[in-house]
C-alpha cells in the first residue's frame, strides 16, 4: 500500500507506580523550593507587578471557588490569554491543552469528537455520543457547538476526569465550561481588526455599560473570513471561503444587592466549512477533486437564549438556569471524490453524484440548584435538572447517484431522534481535620429516547426496496458519583485523591443507513468508566511560581466504535473496552523583567483492552486508542518590555508571545491501520501598545509544518484494487497584522 505510513515505535510504557513516585517527588521538591524563595523574592516581584495576583475563581462544581480547592484537575484559560495567543474559538483553545484530544472529522467541528486522557468513543456513533460535556454560562450544549463560542469570553475551564455528578451523562471523560464576558457597571468596550494572508480577516468589538440604576448591558460581535487551505483539483482555487459571524447580547438586571437576573441571546452563522477527506499523501498543495459539479458550500446557524436567576439568601445561594438552543446545518458533498476513487477503482465517476444532509437540533433545559456561599467552611451544591433534545437528520430530494442508480442516496431519508433527561444531584466538601477535607458527590439520572426513520426510493431507483421504516425507544436510569480527599500541605499547596464513576447512556445514530435496506436501527449500548486520580496544586504566595501535577488511571467499559460496510453501506455500533493511564504536569514561572514562562506535559497510555466475540470492526485488544498520542506538550514564553514614548504614544510597551505545541505519534483509527506522525506547531505574536491602542503582528504555524488533523483508512473496493488513506492536512504558515482600541 503505497499511501500507508509506517507505524511509529513510540516510547515504552512507563509503569503507573513509577509515574506516581516521580510526580510526588516533584511536588515535594517544588514545595520546598518555593517556600525557600517566597520570602526572599516576594517584595521584588510585587514591586514589579504592582500588586499580588488575584485568586483564580472557577465554577467547576457549579459554584464559585478557588481553583486550588477543587479536588481534581482543572485547566483554566482566561479571556486575556485567549486574546494574546490569538485563539479564535474554543476548538483552537482545546488543541493547546496536553491530554485533550480532538478529531474534527474532516473539518466539520460541529461533528467533532473530543476525548480527555484517552477516554471516550473510539469512533463517534452520533452527535449525542460525546464523552465531554459542553456548558456555556451554565447552559448545556452538544460538543459540536464549540466552533461558534470563542469571542468576548471571560475564561474557559477544562475539567478532567468524569464529571457526571454535576454535568450529567455526556461527561464520562470531562467537561468544558465556557464563561462569557458579563455587563459592567462602568462604560467600556473595544474594537479589533485583522488582515492576513490567505485572505484572512477578522473584525470584532464589544460595548458594555449601565442602562440605568439597576440594569447593565453588553453587546459583542465578530466576523471572520479566509480562503480554505485545500484547493479544488479542477480549478486550482481554494475549495471554499469560510465565513463566520456571531453576535451576543447580554442584559443584567440587579433590582437589589442579593438578586440578579442575566438574560443572554447569541446568534452564530458558519458558512463554507466543507466536510473534506483528502487523499494522502497530500503533496505541497493539498487538493480535493469534486468534479465539475457546482457546490454552494456548507452552512450552520446556532441560536441560543438563556435566563439565569441568582439570589443570595444569606446562608445559601439559589440559582435557576433556563435555556433554549437551536442549530441548523446544511451539508453538501459528493459520494465519489475523484482522486480517491481513481485509486480505489481506477476511474473517477465525473458528476457521479451529489448528496446533502439537513440537520436540525433543538434543546430546552431547566436547572435549579442551591449552593454554599463563596468562602464558607463547608462547600456544597445540590439541585435538579431537566433537558429535552430533538434532532432531525434528513436527506431530501435533489440528491442523486448517477454512477450507482440503486444507491441509497437516490431516495428521501428522514430521521427523528428525541431525548429527555431528568437528574437530581449533590456534592459536599467538609473539613474532617485541621488540613483534611472529604468530598462526596452523587447523581441519579433518568433518560428516555425514541427513534423514528423512513426511507422512500425515488422513481429512478431500481432497488426492490421502495419504502421502509424503523421505530424504536429505550429507557435508562443510572447513578454516577465521586469521592475525594484533599490535604493542605501548606497555605500554597494542596494534595488530593479522587475516585469517580462516569456513565454515557445508550442512544441512536442519526447517520444510520440500515433503514435503507429494510433493517431496524437498533440502539447502541451505554458506556461506563471508573477513574482514579492523585495530584497536587501549588502556587507561591507571591504568584511567581505555580505547578500542578496528577497521575491517573481509567478503565472504560463498553465505549463505542462505528462499523460501516463499504459495500452494503450497513452501519452499526459495537462496544469495546479501553484502559488509559498516565501523568500530567503544568505550571508557570515569572522570573522578573517582564518575562513569563508556562507549559504543560502529558503522558497518556491508552489502549483497547476488550473486543466482543465475533466483532467485525477489525479492532483487536492491544491496539492503541486512536487520536491519542503517548506524549503531548506545550510551551509558552511571554515578554513585556516598557518603551520610551514615541509618535505621541504615552507609556508604550512591547509585548512578545511565542507558543509551541507538540503532539506525538497517534493511530488514525481503532484498527491501527496507519500512524499519523508527531508534529510541532509554533505561533508568534508581537505587539506595541500605548494608552488605549495596540498594533500587533502575528504568525501562525511559524515553521510551515504540514500535519494530519485526522485520518481515515478506506479499504480496496474490489479484489486486487488499491486501498487508500484519507485525512485533512493542517493549514500552512499564515501571517498578518491587527489593530485594537480599548475604551
DSSP string for residues in 541-604? TTSSEEEEEEEEEEEEEEEEEEEE-TTT--EEEEEEEEEEEEEEEEEEEEEETTEEEEEEEEEE
Q: How confident is the model at residue 29 (pLDDT cuts 50, 70, 90)?
A: very low
Domain membership of residue 2 (yes or no) is no
Check if the beta carbon of residue 156 is closer than 8 Å to that of residue 82: yes
pLDDT at 205: 97
C-alpha 731/C-alpha 711 separation (Å) is 15
Q: Which SS3 state, helix, strand or coil, does residue 305 take?
A: strand
CA 619 from centroid of its chain's CA atoms:
25
- Which pLDDT band holds residue 349 (cuts at 50, 70, 90)? confident
- What's the rounded mean pLDDT across residues 264-286? 91
- Looking at residues 98-108, what average pLDDT do you find? 79
Rounded average pLDDT over 537-549? 95
Question: What 3-state class would DSSP assign to 249?
Answer: strand
User: Does residue 702 have a pLDDT over 70?
Assistant: yes
Q: Using alpha carbons, list the distances in angstroms from residue 488 to 205, 373, 379, 438.
A: 43, 21, 16, 12
pLDDT at residue 571 greater than cutoff 90: no
For cell 492536512, the residue is 729
More confident residue, 144 or 271: 271
**Using alpha carbons only, how large is the chain's radius of gyration in Å?**
26
* 79 CA to centre of own chain: 16
Considering only residues 305 and 89, tell me which one the structure prediction assigns the higher pLDDT. 305
Smallest CA-to-CA distance from 549 within 499, 497, 490 is with 497
**Rounded CA gap, 412 and 458, in Å?**
7
| Grid coordinates of 438 | 472529604
Q: Are strands 65-66 and 57-58 parallel, antiparallel or unpaired?
A: antiparallel
- Strand partners for 632: 602, 663
> Is residue 73 a contact partner of residue 160, using CB atoms and an 8 Å limit?
yes
Across residues 138-142, what is the average pLDDT?
A: 87
- Within a domain: 1: no
Task: Using CA atoms of 406, 408, 410, 412 in order, give the dihedral in degrees to the nearest 10.
Answer: 140
The pLDDT-based confidence of 148 (bands split at 50, 70, 90) is low
Report d(CA 721, CA 265) in Å as an integer: 53
* pLDDT at residue 91, rounded to an integer: 87
| C-alpha 83: how far from chain center | 18
- What pLDDT score does 280 carry? 94
Predicted confidence (pLDDT) per residue in 305-340, tens digit: 999 999 999 999 999 999 999 999 888 878 888 888
Which residue in 554, 555, 560, 579 sits closest to 506, CA to CA? 560
Per-residue pLDDT at 17: 39
Residue 309 domain-assigned? yes
More confident residue, 563 or 90: 90
Once rounded to an integer, what is the mean pLDDT over residues 282-306? 86
At residue 169, the pLDDT reads 78
Give the integer Cα–Cα distance in Å for 125 and 665.
Answer: 25
Is residue 206 within 8 A of residue 247, CB to CB? The reply is no
How many whole angstroms separate alpha carbon 542 and alpha carbon 446? 47
Q: Is residue 5 part of a domain?
A: no
**What proportion of the chain, given as a percentage, has pLDDT over 70?**
90
Q: Of the candidates 88, 62, 61, 69, which has an alpha carbon nearest to the alpha carbon of residue 77?
A: 88
Q: In the structure, what pLDDT confidence band is assigned to residue 720 with cuts at 50, 70 and 90?
A: low
Does residue 654 surpass a pLDDT of 50? yes
In CATH, what number is assigned to the domain containing residue 396? Answer: 2.40.170.20
Residue 132 has pLDDT above 60, yes or no: yes
Rounded Cα–Cα distance for residues 624 and 361 (Å)? 33
The answer, yes or no, to whether residue 401 has pLDDT greater than 90, is: no
pTM higher than the cut 0.85: yes
**Residue in this structure with the C-alpha cell 487551505, named with its chain if needed:** 229
The CA distances from residue 532 to 21, 483, 549, 583, in Å, are 16, 10, 14, 12
The stretch 237-261 carries a mean pLDDT of 95
In sequence order, the 6+-apart residues with CB closer than 8 A to the CB of 684 are: 657, 658, 659, 698, 699, 702
Residue 236, classed as helix, strand or coil, is coil
Cell of 322: 433556563
Q: How many CB atoms lie within 10 A of CB 4?
A: 15
Instruction: Check the CA dihedral 197-198-199-200 and report its sign.
Output: negative
Lowest mean pLDDT among 6-20, 138-152, 653-667: 6-20
- What CA–CA distance (Å, rounded) separates 395 from 401? 13
Q: Can you tell me the distance from the alpha carbon of 212 to that of 215, in angstroms, rounded to the nearest whole number?
A: 5
216 has pLDDT over 70 = yes
Query: Which region among 126-140, 603-617, 693-707 has the lowest average model confidence (pLDDT)?
Result: 126-140
pLDDT band with cut points at 50, 70 and 90 for residue 343: confident
d(CA 630, CA 726): 22
Of residues 518 and 177, more confidently modeled: 177
Residue 351 has pLDDT above 80, yes or no: no
Residue 52: CB atoms within 10 Å: 12
Of 128-142, 229-243, 514-528, 631-645, least confident by mean pLDDT is 514-528
Task: Give the helix/strand (H/E) hosting 42.
Answer: helix 16-49
Classify the C-alpha dihedral 280-509-139-264 as positive or negative.
positive
Residue 36, phi-psi category: left (phi > 0), alpha (psi -120 to 50), beta (remainder): alpha
- pLDDT for the residue numbered 567: 59
Of the pLDDT bands very low, low, confident and very high (cuts 50, 70, 90), residue 718 is: confident
Give pLDDT, residue 14.
36
Dist CA 487 CA 353 (whole Å): 63
Q: Are 508 and 523 in contact, with CB atoms under 8 Å apart? A: yes
Q: Which residues pair with 157 in a beta bridge?
A: 76, 177
Is the pLDDT at 463 greater than 90? The verdict is no
- β-pair type (545-564, 527-539): antiparallel
**pLDDT (mean) for 686-694:** 93
Position with higher pLDDT, 702 vs 331: 702
Count how many domains the chain has.
Answer: 1
User: Phi then psi for 168, rounded to 5 degrees?
Assistant: 90, -165
pLDDT one-digit tens code per residue, 44-56: 333 343 344 457 8
Taking alpha carbons only, the member of 716, 699, 657, 524 closest to residue 84 is: 657
pLDDT for 54 equals 58
Q: From CA 19, how far away is CA 606, in angstroms rounded? A: 15
Asked whether the beta carbons of 729 and 707 are under 8 A apart, the reply is: yes
Q: Which of 85, 19, 328, 70 is nearest to 175 (CA)?
A: 70
- pLDDT at position 15 over 90: no
Average pLDDT, the chain: 87
Q: Within a domain: residue 720?
A: yes
Of 10-24, 309-323, 455-469, minimum mean pLDDT range: 10-24
pLDDT of residue 646: 84
* Domain-embedded: residue 614: yes
Cell of 142: 452538544
CA 259 to chain centre: 33
In a domain, residue 709? The reply is: yes
| Residue 661's pLDDT band (cuts 50, 70, 90) | very high
3 part of a folded domain = no
Contact 363, 140 (CB under 8 A): yes
Domain of residue 660: give its range: 16-742
When mean pLDDT is compared across 192-196, 404-408, 683-687, 738-742, the lowest value belongs to 404-408
Grid cell listed for 714: 478506506
Mean local confidence (pLDDT), 665-672: 94
As a whole number, mean pLDDT of residues 223-238 equals 93
Mean pLDDT of 484-501: 96
pLDDT score, position 79: 92
Amino acid at each position: 500500500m503505497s499511501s500507508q505510513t509506517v507505524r511509529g515505535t513510540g516510547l515504552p510504557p512507563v509503569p503507573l507506580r513509577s509515574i506516581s513516585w516521580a510526580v510526588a517527588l516533584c511536588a515535594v521538591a517544588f514545595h520546598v523550593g518555593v517556600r525557600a524563595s517566597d520570602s526572599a523574592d516576594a517584595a521584588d516581584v510585587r514591586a514589579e507587578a504592582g500588586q499580588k495576583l488575584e485568586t483564580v475563581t472557577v465554577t467547576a462544581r457549579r459554584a464559585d471557588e478557588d481553583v486550588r480547592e477543587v479536588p481534581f484537575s482543572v485547566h483554566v484559560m482566561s479571556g486575556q490569554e485567549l486574546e494574546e495567543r490569538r485563539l479564535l474559538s474554543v476548538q483552537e483553545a482545546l488543541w493547546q491543552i496536553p491530554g485533550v484530544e480532538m478529531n474534527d472529522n474532516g473539518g466539520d467541528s460541529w461533528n467533532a469528537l473530543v476525548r480527555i486522557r484517552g477516554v471516550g468513543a473510539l469512533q463517534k456513533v452520533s452527535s449525542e455520543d460525546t464523552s465531554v460535556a459542553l456548558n456555556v454560562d451554565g447552559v448545556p450544549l452538544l460538543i459540536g457547538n464549540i466552533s461558534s463560542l470563542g469571542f468576548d469570553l471571560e475564561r474557559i475551564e477544562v475539567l478532567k476526569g468524569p464529571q457526571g455528578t454535576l454535568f450529567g451523562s455526556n461527561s464520562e471523560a470531562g467537561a468544558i465550561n465556557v464563561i462569557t464576558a458579563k455587563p459592567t457597571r462602568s462604560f467600556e468596550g473595544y474594537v479589533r481588526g485583522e488582515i492576513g494572508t490567505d485572505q484572512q480577516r477578522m473584525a470584532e468589538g464589544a460595548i458594555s455599560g449601565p442602562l440605568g440604576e439597576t440594569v447593565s448591558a453588553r453587546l459583542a460581535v465578530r466576523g471572520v473570513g479566509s480562503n480554505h487551505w485545500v484547493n479544488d483539483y479542477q480549478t486550482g482555487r481554494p475549495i471554499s471561503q469560510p465565513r463566520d459571524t456571531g453576535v451576543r447580547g447580554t442584559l443584567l438586571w440587579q433590582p437589589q444587592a442579593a438578586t440578579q437576573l442575566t438574560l443572554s441571546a447569541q446568534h452564530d452563522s458558519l458558512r463554507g466549512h466543507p466536510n473534506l477527506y483528502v487523499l494522502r499523501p497530500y503533496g505541497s498543495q493539498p487538493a480535493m477533486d469534486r468534479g465539475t459539479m457546482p457546490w454552494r458550500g456548507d452552512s450552520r446557524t446556532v441560536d441560543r437564549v438563556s435566563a439565569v436567576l441568582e439570589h443570595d439568601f444569606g446562608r445559601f445561594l439559589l440559582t435557576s438556569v433556563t435555556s433554549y438552543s437551536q442549530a441548523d446545518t446544511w451539508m453538501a458533498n459528493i459520494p465519489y471524490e475523484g482522486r480517491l476513487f481513481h485509486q480505489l477503482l481506477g476511474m473517477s465517476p465525473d458528476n457521479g453524484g451529489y448528496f446533502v444532509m439537513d440537520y436540525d437540533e433543538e434543546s430546552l433545559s431547566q436547572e435549579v440548584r442551591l449552593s454554599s456561599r463563596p468562602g464558607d467552611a463547608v462547600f456544597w451544591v445540590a439541585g435538579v435538572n431537566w433537558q429535552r433534545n430533538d434532532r432531525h437528520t434528513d436527506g431530501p430530494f435533489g440528491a442523486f447517484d448517477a454512477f450507482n442508480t440503486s444507491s441509497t442516496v437516490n431516495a428521501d431519508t428522514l430521521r427523528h431522534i428525541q431525548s429527555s433527561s431528568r437528574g437530581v444531584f449533590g456534592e459536599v466538601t467538609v473539613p474532617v481535620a485541621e488540613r483534611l477535607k472529604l468530598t462526596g458527590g452523587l447523581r441519579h439520572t433518568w433518560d428516555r429516547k425514541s427513534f423514528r426513520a423512513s426511507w422512500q426510493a425515488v422513481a429512478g431507483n431500481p432497488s426492490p426496496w421502495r419504502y421502509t421504516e424503523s421505530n424504536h425507544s429505550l429507557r435508562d436510569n443510572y447513578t454516577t458519583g465521586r469521592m475525594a480527599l484533599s490535604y493542605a500541605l501548606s497555605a500554597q499547596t494542596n494534595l488530593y485523591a479522587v475516585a469517580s464513576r462516569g456513565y454515557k447512556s445508550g442512544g441512536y445514530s442519526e447517520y444510520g443507513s440500515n433503514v435503507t435496506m429494510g433493517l431496524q436501527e437498533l440502539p447502541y449500548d451505554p458506556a461506563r468508566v471508573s477513574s482514579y486520580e492523585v495530584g497536587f496544586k501549588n502556587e507561591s504566595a507571591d504568584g511567581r511560581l505555580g505547578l500542578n501535577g496528577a497521575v491517573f488511571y481509567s478503565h472504560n467499559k463498553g465505549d463505542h466504535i462505528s462499523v460501516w460496510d463499504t459495500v452494503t453501506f450497513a452501519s452499526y455500533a459495537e462496544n469495546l473496552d479501553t484502559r488509559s493511564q498516565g501523568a500530567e504536569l503544568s505550571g508557570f514561572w515569572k522570573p522578573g523583567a517582564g518575562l513569563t514562562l508556562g507549559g504543560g506535559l502529558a503522558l497518556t497510555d491508552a489502549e483497547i483492552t476488550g473486543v466482543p466475540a465475533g466483532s467485525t470492526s477489525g479492532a483487536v485488544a492491544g491496539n492503541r486508542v486512536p487520536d491519542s498520542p503517548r506524549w503531548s506538550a506545550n510551551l509558552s514564553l511571554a515578554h513585556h518590555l516598557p518603551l520610551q514614548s514615541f509618535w505621541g504614544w504615552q507609556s508604550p510597551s512591547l509585548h512578545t508571545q511565542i507558543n509551541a505545541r507538540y503532539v506525538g505519534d497517534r493511530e488514525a483509527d481503532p484498527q491501527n491501520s496507519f500512524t499519523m506522525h508527531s508534529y510541532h506547531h509554533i505561533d508568534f505574536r508581537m505587539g506595541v501598545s500605548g494608552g488605549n491602542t495596540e498594533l500587533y503582528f502575528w504568525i501562525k504555524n511559524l515553521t510551515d509544518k504540514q500535519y494530519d488533523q485526522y485520518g481515515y483508512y478506506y479499504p480496496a473496493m474490489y479484489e486486487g484494487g488499491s486501498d487508500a488513506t484519507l485525512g485533512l492536512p493542517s493549514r500552512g504558515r499564515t501571517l498578518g497584522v491587527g489593530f485594537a482600541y480599548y475604551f
